[in-house]
Amino acid sequence: MTQTATPYPPPDPETLQALYEYRARVGADWKTKLLLAWMRASEPGLLQRLRNERGPRWLASYELPEGGTSAPRRQLSRQESSKLLKATLREAFPGTRFSVKLSRGTSYGNVEVFWTGPSTENVEEVTSVFQGRGFDGTDDSTTFLDTALMLDSGEVVKSGLGMVMLYRERDGQEVL
């Protein structure tokens, strides 16, 4: 069973123009920078409205029209994906120490993230685009997510991770 994103209509011309201008202003890694800006609410107006209406998952899968077709996305290895996840978390939350551990055995491909500090909701904003699988408890099934990550080089890739499990700690104790 494959999970697909709810289709959104294309952005209106004014919003599309704002996205093009943002990309021109900040460079090839515009999606990563916009995600961080959304977390800090530092891009007011159309771009913040876009975040409120569509959210980070939409941004991860959205590709600005270029007038051509896009090549199939390369999938990162789970090791590459976990390193990129940790680097992205460090950039999003400077000064916060994160532990990113790859699971083995029956949980192969999943990753556990431990930290002390920012709220789980804020960390989930960053980690959600790395999640390649989910679990549907209503029918005990795995769902596969089609997410996209943009590297600093501008290449759009797929995460090689399965589920991303978050564990916020306080003084060595897990916070539920």
> Which of 71-75, 114-118, 123-127, 137-141 shows the lowest per-residue confidence on average (mean pLDDT)?
71-75
In DSSP terms, 74 is beta-bridged to 157
Q: If you average pLDDT over each of 2-11, 44-53, 115-124, 163-172, which comes out highest?
A: 115-124
CA–CA separation, 100 and 21 (whole Å):
34
Quick one: angle between helices 13-26 and 46-61, nearest 10? Answer: 80
Q: Is pLDDT larger for residue 119 or for residue 26?
A: 119
Q: pLDDT averaged over the chain?
A: 81
20 versus 100: the higher-pLDDT residue is: 100
Higher pLDDT, 82 or 48: 82
pLDDT tens digits, 33-50: 898 888 888 877 888 888
Strands 164-170 vs 111-115: parallel, antiparallel or unpaired: parallel
Question: Which of 171, 142, 146 lies closest to 157, judged by CA?
Answer: 146
Pair 164, 82: CB distance under 8 Å: no
Q: Is the pLDDT of residue 67 over 60?
A: no
Question: Using 50, 70 and 90 to split pLDDT, how confident is the model at 3?
Answer: very low
